[in-house]
Amino acid sequence: MSNVELKPARVFEQFAKINQIPRPSKREEKMIEYLKEFGKSHGLETVVDETGNVLIRKPATPGHENRKTVILQSHMDMVCDKLVDIEFDFDKDAIQTYVDGEWLRAKGTTLGADDGIGCAIELAVLDSDDIEHGPIECVFTRDEETQLTGAIGMKSGFMNGDYLINLDSEDEGQFFVSCAGGRSTIATFSVEREETPAGYFFMEAAVKGLVGGHSGDDINKKRANAIKLLTRFIYAEMQKTDVRLVSFNSGKLHNAIPRDGKVVFAVPAADKEMVKADFNIFVAKVEDEFHVTDTAMEFALTSTDAAAVITKAVGDNIIFALQAVDNGVFAMCQDEALDWLVETSSNVAAVKTTDNEVEVLSSQRSCVMSNLDNMCNTVAAAYRLAGAKVITTDGYPAWKMNPHSKLVDITAETYRKLFGKEPKVLGIHAGLECGLFSERYPNLDMVSFGPTLRYVHTPDERLLIPTVQMVWDHLLEILKNIPE
């Protein structure tokens, strides 16, 4: 399948244009300008709110003026991650895509289909003059991937529609009608440094090539976490010899399972051969544990230059806390109909070391807000016991299912009509902006769907090309069937 055969052509043309535009979270200015110019060039009413969200209104086609207004919504920013050994500037460089069988991928970086493909579908609707629809509002929010500041900053009255279709889901044929709420926990350890005792040997333990993934949607897939693996090794060695911590760096984003990392430490020179042997044994055990999910992991233990170490008590406490803190699935949903869905989870997402601080970022999620409170408290307590200062962010709310949704009925009925099969109506263990919209617009009827994506938030991100056509056809059928 070559690039010229990508269908629907109008959607992939828009996606190609979007991927020429740098749009990291919180730095979406070029994308905002592109959307403003797009609306202007098409003669469509275009509004930008004070937060930077963009709304483009398209009038109904003749004969559909009395239909209820539909809001199509996606986020303009993308997660920016790349392979450690390639040069790429997400503030300047265009995403380079290629076709791999039925999948569209990027060369060594995230693809940006989360949620660039949703934006492309919206722009294709706005650009089309041969489809039937009532009044449409196309909304493009900013900074969804880090703190949802676009949706948080949107004021009541910015959108005026009756139905909202969020185009930010990742499995074709699955319609999402609820989502988890989430918060981040930031633990900061103040550190002082000292000269290492004489006769110590410095080493760096590193891992790369883990699958990683979305810290909500992929948290139940038993994938390895680079921070937890490196911590596990260092903690085990602390039981056998004196380990002095220099630095720990791994992960980048609160919503991604960390794929690589490095920890620098010192041990008595007399024990270095023992540590090397232990590392080989550790690697073999871990590779066996994750032989299904993480088949390309690479470990390395090398000597490195001497450096000032973190004072013993603080260094030990950092490792103790990282060993103890919850990571992964904490609870599954109790309702029998949803017992397959993760209810509550936590992800240790990033560790960053400077001369005088070690900062640990983690992400907690739950569709039960009281359990979200409990999960955040559990994680915070582990860090506080170790002497860290802890901040828990305000986060975002869960989106509760509307059992009487007319839009969900229309979405399911049109899907059955088009494809002759039953769709799945689900909740998702990830944050969707619908949770925030439900607070500001309590009467807004919403559903979320999209084409199939895999390995989002990683350089392995990929888009299943045939599902884009399916989503496009389905969306047009929904627009035709919106009631007056």
Written as six digits, the tokens of 15 are 């996606």
Per the residue annotation, which of 28, 77, 114, 237 is the catalytic one?
77
Which residues in the chain land under pLDDT 70? 1-4
230-259 pLDDT, tens digit per residue, is 999 999 999 999 999 999 999 988 889 999
How much is the mean pLDDT over the chain? 95
Among 28, 81, 115, 144, the one annotated catalytic: 144
Residues 116/118/121/122 CA torsion (nearest 10 deg): -100
77 is catalytic: yes
Non-local (6+) Cβ contacts of 59 within 8 A are 65, 135
Q: What is the DSSP letter of 399?
A: B
CA distance 314 to 21: 44
Is residue 45 annotated as part of the catalytic site, yes or no? no
Contacts of 442 (CB under 8 A, 6+ apart): none
- Tell me if 267 sits within 8 A of 301, measured CB to CB: no
DSSP per-residue letters across 53-91: -EEEEEPPPTT-TTSPPEEEEEE--B---B-TTS---TT
CA distance 413 to 406: 11
What per-residue confidence (pLDDT) applies to 403?
A: 84
The pLDDT value given to residue 1:
37
pLDDT for the residue 434? 94
User: CA triplet 260, 262, 264: central angle to 5 degrees?
Assistant: 175
pLDDT digits (tens, 9 = 90+) for 157-206: 999 999 999 999 999 999 999 889 999 999 999 999 999 989 999 999 99
0.85 surpassed by pTM: no
User: Alpha carbon 202 to chain centroid distance?
Assistant: 35
The reply to whether omega before 115 is within 30° of 0 (cis) is yes
Residue 2: predicted pLDDT: 45
pLDDT at 329: 95
Give the separation between CA 290 and CA 270, rounded to whole angstroms: 32
In what side-by-side order are the strands of the sheet with 163-166? 45-48, 54-58, 136-141, 70-75, 163-166, 445-448, 174-179, 424-428
Question: Are 57 and 8 contacting, i.e. CB atoms less than 8 angstroms apart?
Answer: no
Please give the C-alpha separations between residue 134 and each of 85, 166, 305, in angstroms, as whole numbers: 49, 17, 66
- Is-contact 252 24, C-beta < 8 A? no
